[in-house]
Amino acid sequence: MTEVDGDMPLGETRIEAAYGSGDGDNTSTATVASAPKGQIFEQIYRPWNGTLGPRWVRNYAIYRHHVYGIVTGSGHRRYHPFVRLTLLVVILGSMTPILMLLLSSMFSGDASGFLNRMWGVNRYNLWGNILGYFPRNLCMWPLLTALVVGGLVSDDRKNGTSAIYFSRPISRLDYASMKWLSAASVLGAVILLTYIMYYSAAVVFKGEGWSYIADTIPIFMGGLTAGILLVFTYTSIGIALSSISTSRFTASVSFLGLVLGSKIVAWLIEIQFETTYIYLLSPYDCLAHVGQWLVGLPPNYNHPLAVSAVSLILMNLASLAVFASRVASLEVTRE
């Protein structure tokens, strides 16, 4: 490539052909524009002068990105079909007592009485629909939490998508709040909604009156409070584990190991040393102890209730502190 200063205007370059297929190759030239000093393009950042949406709209965009993705993947977080299938199985499994209540209403006599004792509304069944170890806190609720919160924050750390969030006028408090609320909404929709449906079905199928509702509503509210505590605790622990990992698989397995492992280890230590204080390290057992008090059941633990309540509060505070610390360290820009 040879520049010709005399015959061509300033800022243009003549490119001579390296080879050709006929006569006159030595006269083949092309004229291209050339920016001064080798500059190819000029990049200018212009400020946004439009009208921004209100704060709640930006927060709702984060919320729906995670929640709506369970139903539809168009424009929202993509959940693997296996995850969606597992969530469906968990929901159907949670509604099994409702089916049994329907069957008990179709029979009369001893069969109806037996099914009603097994599946009807009482303190043990209301407590078991939220905090029963098998199958709910062994197979269903921890697995549900692990699937929901596994990649909630870890994907942002791995892929750098936090830079997309913070490139808009979104504060870290809004980001953390909407992430936590997204996970809690999914857990609450499954755990609490099926619990309410169970109690409502028992009243409707049996044709109970207002006196029955007045007698059982305190127990129902105690179980509902226990369910809210369970959703809050599992969400806080799960999202804290997700925030310290860059792999959704690691976060999910860590949550399952923490909830189930602490329960099994505490149970083995109780068998060997006949003490229940080690259950203070188990999120499920702290919730179960408080839940038994809320619905009026005799406790299965020898240590005081206040100790379990304090341990439960410390678990939540520690989890939220870890989550807040990790969110504060998320990157704002990405090269």
106 belongs to a structural domain:
yes
333 belongs to a structural domain:
no
Whether residues 11 and 90 fall in one domain: no
- Beta-carbon contacts of residue 187 (< 8 Å; ≥ 6 apart): 141, 144, 145, 148, 231, 234, 235
Per the structure, the complete domain to which residue 319 belongs is given by 55-328
Whether residues 11 and 143 fall in one domain: no
How far lies 32's CA from each of 11, 16, 17, 127, in Å? 9, 12, 14, 80
Q: Which two tokens stand for residue 326?
A: 């990790």
48 belongs to a structural domain:
no
| Cα–Cα dist 230/26, whole Å | 83
Q: Is the peptide bond before 135 cis (omega within 30 degrees of 0)?
A: yes
Residue-level pLDDT at 306: 97
Whether residues 145 and 267 fall in one domain: yes
Residue-level pLDDT at 313: 98
| Cα–Cα dist 79/72, whole Å | 9
Residue 289: closest CA among 273, 274, 306: 306
For the chain, 335 residues long, give each residue's pLDDT as a single digit of tens.
444 445 545 554 444 444 445 555 555 454 445 545 555 666 676 776 777 788 899 899 999 999 998 888 777 888 888 999 999 999 999 999 999 999 888 888 778 788 888 889 999 999 999 999 999 999 999 999 999 998 899 988 888 888 888 877 889 999 999 999 999 999 999 999 999 999 999 999 988 889 999 999 999 999 999 999 999 999 999 999 999 998 989 999 999 999 999 999 999 999 999 999 999 999 999 999 999 999 999 999 999 999 999 999 999 999 999 999 999 988 775 43
Whether residues 233 and 148 fall in one domain: yes
19 belongs to a structural domain:
yes
Whether residues 2 and 143 fall in one domain: no
6 belongs to a structural domain:
yes
228 belongs to a structural domain:
yes
Whether residues 171 and 66 fall in one domain: yes
Whether residues 196 and 137 fall in one domain: yes
Residues across the chain: 335
302 belongs to a structural domain:
yes
Domain count for the chain: 2
Whether residues 282 and 316 fall in one domain: yes
Whether residues 255 and 293 fall in one domain: yes
Residue-level pLDDT at 330: 85
Q: In this structure, are residues 25 and 17 in contact, taking their beta carbons and an 8 Å threshold?
A: yes
* pTM score, whole prediction: 0.83
Whether residues 257 and 287 fall in one domain: yes
Whether residues 20 and 150 fall in one domain: no
Whether residues 222 and 131 fall in one domain: yes
